Amino acid sequence: MTNTYKSRADVPDKEKWNIEDIYPSIESWEADYHFIEQMTAKLKQYDGAIHDGISLYLYLSEKEEVSSKFNLVYVYGMLQSDVDTRDTLAQSLVDRAKQLAVKLSAATSFFMPYLLSLEESTLKEYIQNEPRLQYFEKDLFEAYRYKAHVLTKENEEILSHLGEALSAPSNTYNMLNNADIKFGDVTNNEGVKVELTRGMYSKLIEDDDRNKRKEAYKAYYKPYLQLKNSIASTLAANVKTNVTLARLRNYPSALEKGLFGDMVPKEVYENLIAATKGNLAPLHRYTAIRKEKLAMEELRQYDLNVPLVNGIKMEISYDEAYETILNALAPLGEDYLGTLKIFKDGRMIDVRETPGKRSGAYNLGVYGVHPFVLLNQHDDLDSMFTMIHEFGHAMHSWYSSSHQPRISAGYSIFVAEVASTVNEVLLINYLLNKETSDEIRKHLLNHFIDQFRGTFYTQVMFAEFEKITHEMAESGKPLNVEVFNQLYESLFRQYNGDEVVFDEEVKYGWSRIPHFYRPFYVYKYATGFASAIHIAEKLLAGDETTLTAYLDFLKSGSSDYPLELLKKTGVDLTTPEPINQALKRFDALVSEFAQI
């Protein structure tokens, strides 16, 4: 059974991450904070004082040191705040770090306009005269790609001072969504009304009892409907901020600004949507199978997650899940498995849901320390898949940090979802292969189809919602509750088909998606999933060339552009082939399930 904790203090230390790995005390944190303050003032003095290779190197090396320490300062507060969003001391550390970030950004805002004022021949001369600059060479010349999008020194400084204000819509939504929202009541097994939590919802929405699903669904959406105007305001402001920044920086569109850093052509994004919209038939077929299997006259949104195989409740303890994960990832080799064992023993994982803890799950790689993985474990199949997903991210962070210098150790979000999804595909394959019970195999197949639907189709639907809302803002059209509702309802119907009967809550789905506050992020789940399907199937076939290429990919950080890194594993997303292959795989899964 899932352990339920009323307080973080009740959770065993071995199931909590140890943030003393970052700073042993608050005094150590304060020391670095004050060091950054002093160095920020020093960095500002380089404005107008960089005239040769030596001064350029000194500025860049000092800025890297300050940025590295700032990352530790911010993460230390963030990790404490995330395990209890009500903790005012932790929140004050985060707030102070954010204020420091604004000062640091303002102090260094002169540099990009300065760099782009140099002739490339002058920069080459600086590097030739100061060999230590070779460490920064790739990033320095990458900056010239942004030349058309960098403003004057004065305007860059103004924008940097506005950083905190411009992030207000996202920050406001996060506080509403994680700290302030109170869900409605549901009836527990003893017949007593209790307040719904996110963790309870994820379980109840899969319950065999339709009345429980409906009650949980209504209770979950209740605060979003109550706050619909406030949330519409934050989302509209966020979209308009993205559009305004794109215009100020001379991008053709907010979408192209969002894709520019990864050097992804907008055609990759548009082709993803077009290919998916052209292959909705298998998803509609699966929805029809769901309606038939559940023997319902009317299929509703709260019926879309209940397992279609009755009587299978897989309770999997945290320790058991960890062992299963290690077995499933055997195709990745002993070094991979040995490292993953360290995560658990080294207290790099925060396991349990507790009051005030941030919802969901994530990995945060901290260069020079180690990855930190946040979970809200519920000892079931979904929790095990969430674990192996985040471990994929964590291993990517570990490998990149171990094999790349600081400047190229961070990897693009575009490639991040590949590592996590490869792990998920390996897990479902392992579970299906070792399971002898037909009923459990059907349950696992059902689970994988639902996982595919959520990670691929749903994310493409979200990506289309983002694209359309930004285009509306760019053409001056209003964004409000009614507009968001109409668009979301239309897309939901297109993707899920006509079998679903709509409750009022369906059209408010946009209001509960935190990823909408990270512009043009969600499509990367789908491209990552398609890439992972390709890689995992070759790994399972024992392709040693792919294994070597994939481990090298994990070690590559940001040493090349994302599309180029993926090409080295055999995946070319500039062609429709990986997307089409993934969609064929989904079609085959649905056909197999239909036969059973």
- Determine the straight-line distance between the first and last CA of the chain, rounded to whole angstroms: 30
Per the CB < 8 A criterion, the answer to whether 554 and 332 are in contact is no
At 66, list the tokens: 């300050």
Extract the tokens encoding 507: 């059209």
Q: Which helix (H) or strand (E) holds 400?
A: helix 381-403
Number of domains in the chain: 1
Alpha helices, DSSP H, located in 85-191: 88-108, 111-117, 120-129, 137-142, 153-161, 163-166, 168-175
Domain that holds residue 139: 8-166
Whole-number pLDDT of residue 362: 95
To 5 degrees, how large is the angle CA 205–CA 208–CA 209? Answer: 85
- Evaluate whether residue 461 is within a structural domain: no
- d(CA 595, CA 534) in angstroms, rounded, equals 25
Residue 413 lies in a domain: no
- DSSP class of residue 455 equals I
Residue of 156, 157, 353, 390 with catalytic role: 390
DSSP 365: E
CB 460 within 8 A of CB 280: no
Q: State the Cα–Cα distance between residues 119 and 125, nearest whole angstrom.
A: 10
User: Could you list the pLDDT tens digit for every one of the 596 residues in the chain?
Assistant: 456 788 999 999 999 999 999 999 999 999 999 999 999 999 999 999 999 999 999 999 999 999 999 999 999 999 999 999 999 999 999 999 999 999 999 999 999 889 989 999 999 999 999 999 999 999 999 998 988 898 888 888 888 888 888 899 999 999 999 888 999 899 988 888 999 988 889 889 988 899 999 999 999 999 999 999 999 999 999 999 999 999 999 999 999 999 999 999 999 999 999 999 999 999 999 999 999 999 999 999 999 999 888 767 788 999 999 999 999 999 999 999 999 999 999 999 999 999 999 988 999 999 999 999 999 999 988 899 999 999 999 999 999 999 999 999 999 888 988 999 899 999 999 998 998 888 888 888 898 899 899 999 999 999 999 999 999 999 999 999 999 999 999 999 999 999 999 999 999 999 999 999 999 999 999 999 999 999 998 999 999 999 999 999 999 999 999 999 999 999 999 988 899 989 999 999 999 888 87
CB atoms within 10 A of CB 323: 11
Instruction: Give domain status of residue 401, yes or no.
Output: no
Assigned domain for 276 exists: no
Instruction: Quote the CA–CA distance of 199 and 379 in Å, as a whole number.
Output: 11
Tokens at 346, concatenated: 């080294």
Whether 92 maps to a domain, the answer reads yes
Radius of gyration of the chain (CA): 25
Distance, in Å, from the CA atom of 97 to the CA atom of 79, rounded to the nearest integer, reads 13
Q: For the chain, what percentages of helix, strand and coil (3-state, to nearest 5) are there? A: 70, 5, 25
Torsion angles phi and psi, residue 502, rounded to 5:
-90, 125
In a domain, 93, yes or no: yes
Domain with residue 45: its CATH number is 1.20.140.70
Torsions phi, psi of 374, nearest 5?
-100, 130
Q: Give yes or no: 215 in active site.
A: no
The answer to whether position 332 is within a domain reads no
**513 neighbors 449 (Cβ within 8 angstroms):** no
pLDDT of residue 314: 81
**Contact of 260 with 251, CB cutoff 8 Å:** yes
Looking at the domain assignment, is residue 104 inside a domain? yes
d(CA 593, CA 596): 5
